[in-house]
Chain A
Amino acid sequence: MKNRLEELRKLRGINQEELAAILEVSRQTIGSLENGRYNPSILLAFKIARFFDMPIEEIFIYEEETEHEKEE
């Protein structure tokens, strides 16, 4: 799943630590989310959406996995 977290955070002019403090998660979680290594829980996704005042689907872009990606 792709996301626009890094882009939106930079638009707000805040760093990862500040965003982590607002969302009450670790800075590493923000880093992993931005890199696409970790998908958030629905609760965290809602928290992020509320913070940026945007619908979840505008921040997180769900893409169907291809068979090749699944194998990887």
Chain B
Amino acid sequence: MKKKNKNLIWYIGFGIAFALILLLFLTDFPKKVDIGIMLFTIPILSVSYTMLTFNKMMRDHDFKVEVMDERNIAIKDKAGSVANYVTMFFLCCATALFVALDYTLPACVTGAIYVCNPLIIIVITNKIEKKM
């Protein structure tokens, strides 16, 4: 029962993505709106497809052992943490570049993301702390 619910959200994702594709072809929105819909659809479709495929692959015992292996999980966690620092470094570089080029809006957006990162970490840490 739990497994069904787990997949249901990804099937809904598929449905939403196809509905958005239909919307794209059947309507005559301005080009910018079409691009926006496309950019919104692609991640929904790809994440839904990936998760459904992943859940199917998890039925294979060897694959499940490999994925659930505690050392692999620890490596993944550590890699994610390091990747976060690297991403933040590049985001900082991008912000500096935007400021240098006098691109105010992109600089504000990347700067805001950079500033929000520690807050996101605090919120996630608090949530995990309550669970543990």
Residues of A within 8 A of B (CB): 20-21, 24-26, 28-29, 32, 38, 40-41, 43-44
Contacts and interface: CB of A to CB of B under 8 A. Distances in A.
A20 B70 CA distance: 12
A8 B68 CA distance: 25
B69 interface: yes
18 contacts: A20-B65, A21-B65, A24-B65, A24-B68, A25-B69, A25-B70, A26-B65, A26-B66, A26-B69, A26-B71, A29-B69, A29-B70, A29-B72, A32-B71, A38-B71, A38-B74, A41-B70, A43-B70
Contacts of B70: 25, 29, 40-41, 43-44
B71 to A, nearest CB: 4
